[in-house]
Structure 1
Amino acid sequence: MQIRGLVADTRPLRNPHFRRLWLANIITVVGAQLTVVAVPAQIYADTGSSAYVGLTGLFGLVPLVVFGLWGGALADVFDRRTMLVVTTVGLIGTSGLFWLQAMLGNHNVWLLLGLFSVQQAFFAVNQPTRSAVIPKLVSTELLPAANSLNMTVMQAGAIAGPLVAGALIPVLGFEWLYLIDTFTLLATLSAVVRLPALPVEGAMRGTPGLRSVIEGLTYLRGHPVLMMSFLVDIIAMVFGMPRALFPEIAHESFLGPEEGGLVFAALFAAIPAGAVLGGIFSGWVSRVSRQGLAVVVCILVWGAAMAGFGVAVALADQWRTTMLALAVAMLVVGGAADMASAAFRMSMLQASASDEVRGRLQGIFIVVVAGGPRIADVAHGASAVMVGTAAAAAGGGVLVVVLTVAAAIAVPSFVRYRVTRVA
């Protein structure tokens, strides 16, 4: 019984609709990661320029922000099952076009970037809709468990996908990776088609536009607990995500090869690996009622872990092997804490928001989750130039701790927030 209490809570899988979505996601997420790796790899193969590869960040972020916000508004008007079917078909179509352009020997980087933007737009509408559906499938007390199960699959895919893609590209070529992604998406299409009708309770009339997006943002002003859930995530990611420093740290501090190597791979895989471990041993999340306090504690652990990572990097010259192990361990701990924090924050959002704004708030969630690490890349890169990689990483972790404590003191209702349990 003690072991059962430690491992992931699988009770949400008793719902047949959630179970089908979750099982389909296991298949789909690996295929999606193949495309995530193949697109920049094809761009570099065609151009030989890292600058063109870097444009994937811009071409991916802009539609993610625009359609994430607007897609959330759409999910608050139209039947969410219909929205999932349409966007999943759109994702299948763009994956098919990726395959077609590769089969035809396309070398036009702008065509590839354009397809990538369209794909990200469909993804940006699909994700908030999918998240808004979960409270309709499982009870409030099982939301943390359901979100932990979903995030564990996503993080596992973030590890397995790049490894599989790296092995398959030299053997099969880009077109086969795109084709695999196209067929794996059929599993998700099958799952969403079998969902029941999911109309929005209290849905507004008309076609949503900028006004409906602004209404979603305005809704947060009257709900400080929800607003804090976004703020603390921004603090954690902007100040505490050191991934932009990994290439330099791997090469300069731990003497890995300049082009990458095992140390580089270990640093990049450590945070998602921690998230997967956190998901496997997430049985405790369903038993936590004070979710606001749990989020604060998780983010403090994340910040402390990133500070510890920076200290390990600073001491690398003296005990290189030991400090490398400590650095990876700190990233793993941080990844586990971030997974738990995200599960609680999404659960609070799904349970506290009324159904007519749930899609818009999930859209904001997607934008924050996607945008925070990209801002962190810029901030950490600039800081490292001035103070070095170790100080930038450690200092960022310390700032996360300080700012999170300050935010918790400023909004005590967030710390006091608890979910009502059904006896």
Structure 2
Amino acid sequence: MSDERPARRGWLAGLARVLPDLSAWRASRDFRLLVASGSITMLGSFVTLVAVPVQIKQLTDSFVAVGLVGAVEAVPMVLCGLYGGALADAVDRRRLVVACEFGLLSCSATLLVNALLPSPMVWPLYLVAAVAAGVDSLQRPSLEALIPRYVPHAMLPGAASLSALRWQVGAIAGPAVGGVLVSAWGPATAYGVDVLSFALSALLLFRLRPAPAAEDAEPAGLASITAGLRYAARRPDLLGTYLVDVVAMLVAMPQALFPFLADRLGAPWAMGMLYSAIAVGSLLGSVTSGWTSRVHRHGMAVAVAAAGWGAGIALAGVVDNLGLVLVCLMAAGAADMISGLFRSVIWNQSIPDQLRGRLAGIELLSYMIGPMVGNARAGLTAQLFGLRTAIAGGGLACVAAVAGVTALLPSLRRYDDRTNEHVVAERERRAALAESERSSP
């Protein structure tokens, strides 16, 4: 019996080192509110993500009409992402987040009203998609910039993992729930669930502590956006995180080819499994991410994990067994999640708070544009060179491109959160701020 207890303690200690780091969850009430509200609204948003194209298909029976949804979202996302970053540094971030949450609630309510009409119209679906993309892009930089405001500096790696986890759960559960709701009760029910999710999320966000801008904050505008871009340009390590993500998604994003891949595998019934495999891998990466809090060479971790994404996609394009393809896609998803986690840690630990919103706007563009353009690249490459080359060749090109970016940017390779000047300065600033708050009456 005495031998069993040490063995059990050792097993539990090993498990704790692998499971997600919950220190940020335990330490910060505001972070718990952010994760809870994000989990609720993420589920509802993914439900609507399924409902909108299904309703457009029902109303038009047109492939082009369904595909146009992504096109109308692109321009407002780019414009509002940059301006939203500037606003996040100029106003109270909590107030902006809450206002945008009500804006998104109004968008879903409009979809609900349209779906309940005797003859639902198509044009409101495109209009709401564009407006919602813009409002979401205004909100996202402030949401990202709130995390370093509410979470102690040393706990940011664990916070990044938990933040990613809420997205992954929504990405897996939301489409499944949305598909059931739309099939059984129609789009109106799905939109109603989304409205409810935004209402519940807004109630939680109301309880956040205010997060006002600095007294000397620049007004939101072209000048402040330019200042953020100049800061990013002066930091090759930061540019490296953007470039690695963009090239990895640009040359290796395979999702547009999944319907054709399912046919090649002789399993058209498994198309949904292909779409969910990457998200499942990301979830597995999150729930076993406890080890990431002990990594300090974050730049190399970003590059190695991004190359792992490419390797997983390349293998998925080579093998002809459905089970092996799903395993490869899950491995790629886990690697992409780890790369994203370390990118987030670099951003949160090293960017000054007064610039955090603007840099979050740039980050938004870096991880949204790559997949959008990457899917178009995949379709064109498959048309010219075939399905296998488009998937496997894209994965190999990703490995080569990530290696090239890493070789050209030694500051990314050398990045170490124990010695990086920007991390050290931000750590000292936050320690001094915490000491000042403790000593004030």
TM category, shorter: over 0.9
In structure 2, list runs of 5 or more residues that go unmatched.
1-12, 420-426, 428-441
Give the one of 52, 56, 61 matched to 1:43: 56
Return the match for 1:230 from 210, 234, 242: 242
Q: Deviations over 1:6-48 (max 9, x none)?
A: 1111111111111122122222211111111111111111111
Residue of structure 1 aligned with 2:89, choices 76, 94, 115: 76
Q: Is the 8 A contact 2:218 2:224 kept in 1?
A: no
- How far has the Cα of 1:108 moved from its partner? 2.3
The question of 1:3 aligning with 2:15 is answered yes
| Aligned residue identity for 1:408 | T
Give yes or no for the alignment of 1:300 onto 2:298. Answer: no
1:388 alignment partner, one of 362, 386, 389: 386
Which residue matches 2:372?
374
Report whether the alignment pairs 1:18 with 2:31: yes
Alignment partners' CA distance in 2, 1:298 and 1:142: 21
Which residue of the partner structure matches residue 285 of structure 2? 278
**Aligned-partner Cα distance in 1 for 2:387–2:30:** 46
Retained in 2: the 8 A contact 1:76–1:203? Answer: no
Show the counterpart of 2:358. 360
**1:203, distance to aligned residue in structure 2 (A):** 4.8
The within-5 A match list for 1:308-347 is 308-312=315-319, 316=320, 323-347=321-345
- Matched-pair contact (CA < 8 Å) for 1:299–1:338: yes
* Greater gyration radius: 2
The 1-side partners of 2:218 and 2:237 are apart by 28
- Kindly tell me: are residues 130 and 99 of structure 1, through their superposed partners in 2, closer, same or farther at Cα, counting changes over 3 Å? same
**1:121 maps to which residue?**
134
Summarize the Cα distance change of 1:5–1:366 in structure 2 as closer, same or farther, 3 Å threshold. Answer: same
Match of 1:201 in 2: 214
Gaps of at least 5 residues in structure 1 are 317-322
Where 1:121 maps in the other structure, the secondary structure is helix
- For residues 300 and 350 of structure 2, the distance between their equivalents in structure 1, rounded to whole angstroms, comes to 16
> Structure 1, residues 163-192: CA drift from partner, whole Å, max 9, x if none?
111111132221111111111112221222
The two structures have a TM-score, normalised by structure 2, of 0.89
Secondary structure of 1:107's aligned partner: coil
Question: What letter is aligned with 1:291?
Answer: H
Q: Equivalents in 2 of 1:97, 1:203: separation in Å?
A: 39
Paired with 1:106 and 1:359, the residues of 2 have a C-alpha distance of 42
Distance 1:289 1:201 in 2: 30
* Equivalent in 238, 244, 256 of residue 267 of structure 2: 256
CA distance in 2, matches of 1:43, 1:388: 30
Q: Is 2:101 the counterpart of 1:103?
A: no
| Structure 2 residue identity aligned to 1:387 | F
Q: CA RMSD in A?
A: 1.5
Tell me the amino acid that sits aligned with residue 114 of structure 1: L
Give 1:106 shift.
Answer: 4.7
Letter of the 1:7 partner, please give it.
L
How much does 1:213 deviate?
A: 2.0
Say which SS state the counterpart of residue 84 (structure 2) adopts.
Answer: helix
In 1, the alpha carbon distance for the partners of 2:173 and 2:118 equals 27
- For the 8 Å contact 1:141–1:419, the answer to whether it is kept is no
1:320 matched residue in structure 2: none
* CA 1:202–1:237: 2 relative to 1, 3 Å: farther
CA deviation map 1:280-315 (0-9, x unaligned): 111111111111111111011111111111111xxx
Identical aligned pairs, as a percentage?
37
The answer on whether the counterparts of 1:33 and 1:162 sit within 8 Å (CA) in structure 2 is yes
User: Judging changes above 3 Å, is the alpha-carbon distance between structure 1 residues 153 and 205 closer, same or farther for their aligned structure 2 residues?
Assistant: closer
Judge conservation of contact 2:250–2:370 (CA < 8 Å) in 1. Answer: yes
Q: Is the 8 A contact 2:111 2:124 kept in 1?
A: no
Deviation of the 1:362 alpha carbon: 0.7
8 Å CA contact 2:236, 2:409 repeated in 1:
yes
Residue 185 (1) aligns with residue 198 (2): yes
Separation in structure 1 between the aligned mates of residue 218 and residue 400 of structure 2, nearest angstrom: 44
Write out per-residue CA displacement over residues 49-84 of structure 1, whole angstroms, 9 at most, x where no aligned residue. 111111100111221111111111111100101111
How many residues are treated as equivalent by the alignment? Answer: 407
Quote the Cα distance in structure 1 between the aligned partners of 2:119 and 2:217: 44
Secondary structure at the residue paired with 1:289?
A: coil
Shift of 1:202: 6.0
Structure 1 counterpart of 2:291, one-letter code: W
1:152 aligns with 2:176: no
